[in-house]
């Protein structure tokens, strides 16, 4: 009977994942939570004495992630671009969690010089680093260093910030989580055009390409920081109702609104990955507390030469 239950659990979960629309909605999460194989919640106080850094922590998934980690006992550093907005978030979270230990840091995460300054300001150890900050500009935009903005924010900044903190001895035995997007399943890695200079610019395509790069580079990143005891994970939240979706994809939100996950549901696996024991193996993509394939379509599959070329571009951009 146990084997039959496990098989049923796997079949239902996989069907939800491969059909995309049902699995990415709040209904998909509700079904999975009722399956016998749903992983247990972290224990209360699982992050007592731990310190977490969450980027993009002033809205949507970032707030939910910071609050979820704080509720498990972590001291949380909220990295925001707008300190006034960040201060409001801190007050709101502490209104719900009076004992929450929250710290605020300002950084324009698209600016690699600002990222270097942030890394220099972070003192003490960091046990959890969540790269949540994201953007989908309506037209091609460049970072202060001249890189296409979504690639700068979603790929270059996580690599640079993690590199700097690990190199300074701040991330020993830490868990690093990149918040990606299921939209990356529709795109292949574009190592030939990482700056999106060719063709007509599409904000949704640029966003998905940068998220594809995050997932493709997971094995490289896991290898790069393994000597520090770091495990690297990526998680996609499904379809969550966030300010970013409302601003960038209003038609999608209007059509799917009742089915969208709330921010807490979207952040569930990120918080779970940060706190569950034992530490999950690194270098994998997760959704709804289970590892997921990096590709669903044959046309998006990546060769080793493409991955190597993209990694060389990333290294050149952050080390140059």
pLDDT at 134 over 70: yes
pLDDT at 190 over 90: yes
| Peptide bond between residue 5 and the one before it cis (omega within 30 degrees of 0) | no
Mean pLDDT in residue range 102-122: 97
* pLDDT tens, position by position, 275-292: 999 999 999 999 999 999
**Residue whose structure tokens are 């779970």:** 272
> Cα(296)–Cα(57) distance, rounded to whole angstroms?
30
Mean pLDDT in residue range 154-183: 97
CB 74 within 8 A of CB 51: yes
pTM beyond 0.75: yes
Q: Please give the residue that has the higher pLDDT: either 306 or 240.
A: 306
Q: Please give the residue that has the higher pLDDT: either 241 or 110.
A: 110
Radius of gyration of the chain (CA): 19
> At 251, is the pLDDT very low, low, confident or very high (cuts 50, 70, 90)?
confident
Mean pLDDT in residue range 249-270: 85
Question: Is 201 one of the annotated active-site residues of the chain?
Answer: no
Backbone angles phi, psi at 179, to 5 degrees: -85, 110
CB 44 within 8 A of CB 97: no
> At 5, is the pLDDT very low, low, confident or very high (cuts 50, 70, 90)?
low
User: Which residue out of 24, 185, 196, 207 is catalytically annotated?
Assistant: 207
pLDDT of residue 301: 95
**Residue whose structure tokens are 């091609």:** 140
pLDDT at 3 over 70: no
48-319: CATH number = 3.40.50.720
pLDDT at 122 over 80: yes
> Cα(71)–Cα(76) distance, rounded to whole angstroms?
10
Mean pLDDT in residue range 102-124: 97
Mean pLDDT in residue range 192-217: 97
pLDDT at 211 over 70: yes
**Domain map (residue ranges) of the chain:** 1-38, 48-319
Mean pLDDT in residue range 174-185: 96
pLDDT at 2 over 70: no
pLDDT of residue 246: 65
Q: Which of 48-62, 111-125, 187-201, 249-263 has the lowest mean pLDDT?
A: 249-263
pLDDT at 8 over 80: no
**Could you give the maximum distance between any two Cα atoms of the chain, in Å?**
59
Mean pLDDT in residue range 146-175: 98
* β partners of residue 22: none
pLDDT of residue 1: 47
* pLDDT tens, position by position, 223-240: 999 999 999 999 999 988
Could you tell me what percent of the chain has a pLDDT over 70?
Answer: 96
Arithmetic mean of pLDDT over the chain: 94
């Amino acid at each position: 009977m146990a084997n039959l239950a496990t098989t049923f659990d796997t079949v239902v979960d996989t069907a939800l994942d491969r059909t995309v629309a049902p699995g990415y909605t709040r209904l998909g999460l509700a079904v999975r939570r009722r399956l016998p194989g749903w992983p247990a919640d972290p224990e209360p106080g699982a992050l007592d004495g731990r310190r977490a850094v969450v980027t993009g922590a002033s809205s949507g998934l970032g707030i939910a992630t910071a609050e979820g980690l704080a509720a498990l006992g972590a001291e949380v550093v909220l990295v925001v671009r707008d300190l006034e907005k960040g201060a409001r978030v801190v007050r709101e979270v502490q209104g719900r969690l009076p004992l929450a230990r929250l710290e605020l840091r300002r950084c324009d995460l698209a600016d690699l010089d600002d990222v270097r300054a942030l890394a220099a300001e972070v003192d003490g150890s960091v046990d959890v680093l969540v790269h949540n900050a994201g953007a989908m500009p309506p037209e091609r935009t460049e970072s202060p260093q001249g890189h296409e903005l979504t690639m700068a924010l979603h790929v270059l900044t996580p690599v640079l910030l993690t590199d700097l903190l690990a190199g300074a001895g701040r991330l020993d035995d830490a868990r690093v989580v990149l918040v990606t997007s299921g939209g990356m399943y529709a795109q292949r890695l574009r190592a030939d055009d990482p700056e999106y200079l060719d063709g007509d610019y599409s904000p949704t395509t640029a966003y998905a390409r940068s998220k594809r790069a995050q997932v493709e580079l997971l094995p490289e990143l896991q290898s790069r920081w393994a000597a520090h005891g770091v495990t690297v994970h990526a998680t996609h939240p499904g379809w969550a109702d966030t300010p970013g979706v409302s601003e960038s994809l209003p038609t999608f939100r209007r059509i799917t609104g009742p089915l969208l996950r709330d921010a807490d549901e979207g952040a569930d696996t990120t918080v779970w990955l940060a706190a569950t024991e034992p530490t999950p193996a690194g270098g994998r993509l997760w959704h709804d507390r289970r590892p997921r394939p990096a590709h669903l379509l044959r046309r998006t599959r990546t060769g080793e030469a493409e991955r190597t070329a993209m990694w060389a571009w990333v290294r050149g951009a952050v080390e140059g």
